[in-house]
């Protein structure tokens, strides 16, 4: 390795892969379910139920986040949270994350260190016992964070999105529409022309700060996933693309119609229906069962002409995604 100029916060291009990995691993080491952790060809994770729940989700700079708005810590936290939510939505407890990072050479080491901090603290806060057990580091012009989350069902049957039964109640745990509100604040207030500019925290109202946090560092109710499964949830999924779109998917998979009551959707029902990225849990339970942390928002009806009814009428609300038309040439 040739000698090279170093400063307090070198770029990744100035460091060896080993140096970068050591900096990351020093920050992600936690007590875990891993029987063998980072450093070998593969990790080995306990799967006492005799099965493993596995999901993968990727955040790409541009379509999924902007560096002007998200810190390294935010990015690590969110990449962990969205994957943990998918494990929880099966009724499983998250046990391990694998993180594949593709990083530009001009990224600073401090950014990656804070990314590792975000992963660690999201696991500790949302899914205690889960930790980063492995990963991969490559070079790319586009910062990309691909995460795989594993989980254990602890003897429970997995809760799919296809099990909703006529007469069940429809319930949610977690926020609805806050992440979309946060995204609207970013797009509406923190751009100059087409370019994102850093958030001025002093310029935010209290509700805006909470909405931004929901967008940048979401805190889905991970622990309520296994809890709902134990309580008898018949179907469950996490709401990533908006309640309306995801409730439709559950209804179609279950061959039922889901009927929602807008009065149960908070002060802005349209935002609750359309806004994505909250990663709240949508679940159905047999009538009479409602675990703490869940609130009823509707009922499961026999399959009719429409997948989804809101206040008895077909709902014409699609998931809302201002990133969809991301164009790298315009920022």
Binding stretches for a copy of itself (CB under 8 A): 35-36, 39-60, 62-64, 85-87, 89-90, 92, 96, 98-100, 102, 133-136, 138-142, 144, 146, 148-151, 153, 158, 160-162, 236-238, 253, 326, 328
Distance CA(85)–CA(94), nearest Å, equals: 9
Please identify which residue in the block is written with the tokens 């964070």. 145
Q: How far is the CB of 102 from a copy of itself (least distance, A)?
A: 5
Shortest distance, position 62 Cβ to a copy of itself, whole Å: 7
What is the rounded distance in angstroms from the CA atom of residue 152 to the CA atom of residue 45?
A: 10
**Minimum CB distance to a copy of itself smaller for 51 or for 287:** 51
Report the residue number, 211 or 320, with the smaller CB distance to a copy of itself: 320
For a copy of itself, give the closer residue by CB, 61 or 114: 61
In whole angstroms, how close is the CB of 32 to a copy of itself at the nearest point?
Answer: 12
| Cβ at position 189, least distance to a copy of itself in Å | 25
Least CB distance to a copy of itself at residue 167 (A): 23
Q: Is 86 annotated as a binding residue?
A: yes
Please check if 261 is assigned to a binding site. Answer: no
175 neighbors 215 (Cβ within 8 angstroms): no
Nearer to a copy of itself, 11 or 148 (CB): 148
Nearer to a copy of itself (CB atom), residue 60 or residue 197: 60
Q: In terms of CB distance, is 160 or 264 closer to a copy of itself?
A: 160
In whole angstroms, how close is the CB of 267 to a copy of itself at the nearest point? 28
Report d(CA 84, CA 186) in Å as an integer. Answer: 25
Q: Annotated binding residue at 135?
A: yes
Does the annotation place 240 within a ligand binding site? yes
Nearest distance, CB of residue 311 and a copy of itself, angstroms:
26
State yes or no: 194 annotated in a binding site. Answer: no
Q: Is 192 annotated as a binding residue?
A: no
Residue closer to a copy of itself (CB basis): 199 or 239: 239
Residue 127 or 150 with smaller CB distance to a copy of itself: 150
Sort 126 into a burial class: Cβ within 10 Å, 0-12 / 13-18 / 19+.
buried
CA–CA separation, 119 vs 92, rounded Å?
Answer: 19
CA dihedral 222, 235, 47, 138 (to 10 degrees): -60
Picking from 165, 164, 166, 170, the residue whose alpha carbon sits closest to that of residue 297 is 170
Residues 28 and 116: beta-carbon distance below 8 Å: yes
55 labeled binding residue:
yes
Q: Cβ of 277: how many Cβ atoms within 10 Å?
A: 25
Annotated ligand binding at 161? The verdict is: yes
Q: How far is the CB of 245 from a copy of itself (least distance, A)?
A: 12
| Annotated binding residue 320 | yes
Pairing state between β 257-260 and 308-310: parallel
Q: Is 311 labelled a binding residue?
A: no
Contacts with 119 (C-beta within 8 Å, 6 or more apart), sequence order:
28, 76, 77, 79, 80, 97, 99, 132
Q: Is 57 exposed, middle or buried (0-12, 13-18, 19+ CB in 10 A)?
A: middle
Residue tagged 């005799």 (tokens): 50
Which residue, 133, 123, 119, 132, is CA-closest to 42? 133
Q: Which residues are annotated as a binding site for ATP?
A: 135-136, 161, 240
Annotated binding site for Mg(2+): 41, 55-57, 86, 136, 238, 241
The annotation places the binding site for substrate at 64, 277, 320
Binding-site members are 41, 55-57, 64, 86, 135-136, 161, 238, 240-241, 277, 320
């Amino acid at each position: 390795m040739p000698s090279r100029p170093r400063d307090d916060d070198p770029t990744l291009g100035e460091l060896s892969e080993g140096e970068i990995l050591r900096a990351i691993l020093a920050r992600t080491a936690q007590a875990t379910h891993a029987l063998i952790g980072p450093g070998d060809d593969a990790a080995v994770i306990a799967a006492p139920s005799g099965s493993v729940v596995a999901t993968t989700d990727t955040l790409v700079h541009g379509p999924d986040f902007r560096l002007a708005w998200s810190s390294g810590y935010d990015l690590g936290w969110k990449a962990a949270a969205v994957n943990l939510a998918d494990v929880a939505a099966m009724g499983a407890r998250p046990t391990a994350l694998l993180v594949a990072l593709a990083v530009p050479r001009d990224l600073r080491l401090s950014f990656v260190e804070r990314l590792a901090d975000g992963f660690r603290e999201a696991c500790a806060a949302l899914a205690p016992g889960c930790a980063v057990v492995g990963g991969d580091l490559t070079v790319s012009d586009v910062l990309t964070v691909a995460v795989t989350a594993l989980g254990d069902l602890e003897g429970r049957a997995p809760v799919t999105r296809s099990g909703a039964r006529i007469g069940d109640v429809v319930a949610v745990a977690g926020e609805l529409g806050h992440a979309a509100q946060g995204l609207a604040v970013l797009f509406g207030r923190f751009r100059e022309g087409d370019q994102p500019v850093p958030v001025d925290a002093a310029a935010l109202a209290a509700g805006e700060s909470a909405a931004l946090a929901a967008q940048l560092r979401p805190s889905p109710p991970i622990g309520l996933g296994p809890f709902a499964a134990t309580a008898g949830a018949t179907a469950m999924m996490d709401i990533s693309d908006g309640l309306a779109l995801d409730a439709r998917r559950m209804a179609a998979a279950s061959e039922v119609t889901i009927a929602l009551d807008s009065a149960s959707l908070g002060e802005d029902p349209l935002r609750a229906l359309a806004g994505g990225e909250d990663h709240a849990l949508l679940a159905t339970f047999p009538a009479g069962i409602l675990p703490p942390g869940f609130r009823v928002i509707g009922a499961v009806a026999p399959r009719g002409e429409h997948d989804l009814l809101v206040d008895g009428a077909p709902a014409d609300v699609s998931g809302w995604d201002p990133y969809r038309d991301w164009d790298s040439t315009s920022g």
